Structure 1
C-alpha cells in the first residue's frame, strides 16, 4: 500500500468510491490522537499541538492528514495505526512530498 521509501503519505478524506469521508473533522481527530507521537517523545502539554509527523490540512478542498515517514521509523505501531485507519475506512492514500512555500518577494 505504501512504499518504504516514501517521505510523506497523504491520507485523503475521499473513499475509493469517490465519497467524502465523514465526520467532517476526521483529520483533526486523527491528528489529535497522534499528537503525543513526536520527536523526543511526549512532553507535558504536547497534547495541545499536533505532532510534526501527523498534520491535518486541506488540499484542493479535500481534508487530508500528512503523515511523515519519521513516524514509521520512530513509532512503528503508531504508523500502523494511521495506515490501518486509512485502509479500514477505504480512504485514498497518496505518496508525496510537501514542497516548502516559495520565498516571499523582497519589498524595497
Structure 2
C-alpha cells in the first residue's frame, strides 16, 4: 500500500521474490501507455514523450518507473492503473524521492 504522503513511487522491475521482471522494456511500455496523462492534459504529439508523472529509468541497474503523486490527484484512474499493474505483476514498490545528482567535489 502506498501512503497518501508519498513523494514519489518507484515501481521496480523486480518481483517480490527478487526475480527480474520481463519483458526487458516493460518500464518504457508502461510509461508509454501513461504518456497522455500530464499537466494540462493530452496534446497533439504528447504520445511522443513520457509524462512527467510517469517516467521510466534505471536505478542501481534495476529498471523502474517513477510515478509522481500528482498523477493520483489529477488522474485517479490512471494512478490506479499503474498501481494495479505493479500489484498484478507482484512488483516491488517503494516510496522515495529522486534526488538530483550531487555536485562533484571540488578539488
| Structure-1-length-normalised TM-score | 0.94
List alignment gaps of at least 5 residues for structure 1: none
- Residue aligning to 2:8: 8
Cα RMSD (Å): 1.2
Residues of 2 paired with 1:34 and 1:103: CA distance? 32
Residues of 1 paired with 2:105 and 2:50: CA distance? 30
- Residue aligning to 2:39: 39
Residues of 2 paired with 1:59 and 1:103: CA distance? 18
- Residue aligning to 2:74: 74
Shift of 1:104: 5.9
Shift of 1:103: 4.1
Matched residues, number: 106
List alignment gaps of at least 5 residues for structure 2: none
- Residue aligning to 2:57: 57
Which portions of structure 1, spanning 4 or more consecutive aligned residues, are displaced by more than 6 angstroms? none
- Residue aligning to 1:84: 84
